[in-house]
Amino acid sequence: MKKYNIIFYDCVDSTNLEAKRNSQMEDRTVFTAVTQTGGRGRLGRKWFSDENGLWMSVLLKPDISPAQCSFVTLVAGLAVCGVIENSGIKWPNDIVLGSKKVCGILTEMSSSAEKLNYIVCGIGINLNNESFPDELSNIATSLYLETGGKTDREMFLNRFLSEFEFYYSRFVENGFSCLADEYRKKCITLGKDVTIIRGDNSYPAIAVDINENGELIVETENGTETVLSGEVSVRGIFGYV
Ligand code: BT5
C-alpha cells in the first residue's frame, strides 16, 4: 500500500482548514485531530466534533481533472462502508448505520483553470459517543450506540486508510465507472421516495439509479432528472434517511 503520512493534533479549528493551510505537503498526507472547534459540513453547516470521534482530512494530489473531484466523496464513502459492517451510503456523502448518520464527508479542492492543485477529503466518523446534543439526536448515531462496543481511534484510522487506498487507487487508475456497481449496492437512497431540495424549491421524486458519473437519477412527475452532488439535498419523505 502507498504510504500515508499521518499528522496528529489534539485540537484544531477544522482538519480540512488545517490541510488547506498545509497544502504544500505531499500527496496522501492525513491531518487528524481529537477535537475540532469549528468542524465544517457542506454549505457552511456545522459539524459536531467532540472527543468521541475520528476527524480527519486527506490531502490528495491526483492527476485528474477538477470535474472528477466530486468522485472522491463517493470513493471515501465506499472506504468507510468497508470498515463499518452493515453501513450504507445515503447519496452522496452520508454514511448511515441503523437509520442515522454515523459519518459525513466534505470534499474540497483547489484548482486553476483546467488544472487541479489539490483535493482535501474530510471525513468525520462518530465512534464512541454515548449521546448527542438534542438538535442532533434524531439524525446522528455512533458506532458505540449501534454496536455497544468502543472503538480505538487509531485502529479505525489504519483500517480506513487501507480501504481508502484500495478504492482510491482503482479510481485514479480506471475512473469511477469501475466502482459504480459497488457504489450502487451500498447506496440506500436507491428505490426510495425522496424530496429534492434545490434552494427554496422542493419536490418529490423516486431515486432510481446512480450513473457512471456518480450522479443520482430520479423520476419526478415531469420525467427523469439527473441530480448532481452538491446541487441538492436529498431527504427521505419520512425523515433523515
Ligand atoms: C457533512 O456535511 O456531512 C460533512 C461533514 C464532514 C466532517 C469532517 S470532520 C473532518 C473534516 N473537517 C471538517 O471541518 N469537516 C470534515 P453535511 O452533509 O452538510 O451535514 C451537516 C449536517 O449533519 C449538520 O447540519 C447536522 O444536521 C448534521 N451533523 C452535524 N454534526 C454531526 C455529527 N457529528 N454526526 C452526525 N450528524 C451531524
The confidence score (pLDDT) of residue 22 equals: 98
Q: Is the pLDDT of residue 237 over 60?
A: no
From the CB of residue 149, how many other CB atoms can be counted at a distance below 10 Å?
9
- Any atom of ligand 1 within 6 Å of the Cβ of 93: yes
User: Could you identify the atom of ligand 1 that is nearest to the CA of residue 45?
Assistant: 25
Q: According to the model, what pLDDT value does residue 239 have?
A: 66
Q: Is 129 in the pocket of ligand 1 (CB under 6 A)?
A: no
Q: What is the mean pLDDT of the segment spanning 177-186?
A: 95
Ligand 1 neighbourhood includes 39 CB (under 6 angstroms): yes
Question: How remote is the CA of residue 99 from the centroid of ligand 1, in Å?
Answer: 16
Q: How far is Cα 85 from Cα 106, in angstroms, rounded to an integer? A: 22
How close is the Cα of 37 to the center of ligand 1, in Å? 13
Residue to probe by mutation, ligand 1, list 6, 17, 47, 58, most atoms within 8 Å of CB: 47
Of all protein residues, the one whose alpha carbon is nearest to atom 25 of ligand 1 is 45
Convert the pLDDT of each residue in 53-76 to its tens digit: 999 999 999 999 998 999 999 999
Ligand 1 pocket, residue 100 CB under 6 Å: no
pLDDT in tens, 93-138: 999 999 999 999 999 999 988 899 999 999 999 999 999 999 999 9
Note whether 6 and 157 are within 8 A (CB).
yes
42 CA → ligand 1 middle, Å: 7
pLDDT at 230: 61
Query: What does the pLDDT look like over 127-170, one tens digit per residue?
Result: 999 999 999 999 999 999 999 999 999 999 999 999 999 999 99
Among 56, 78, 52, which residue's Cα sits nearest to residue 141? 52
Q: Report the relative pairing of strands 53-60 and 233-236 from DSSP bridges.
A: unpaired
190-199 per-position pLDDT tens digit = 999 998 887 7
Q: By alpha-carbon position, which residue is closest to atom 37 of ligand 1?
A: 140
Alpha carbon nearest to ligand 1 atom 3, residue:
104
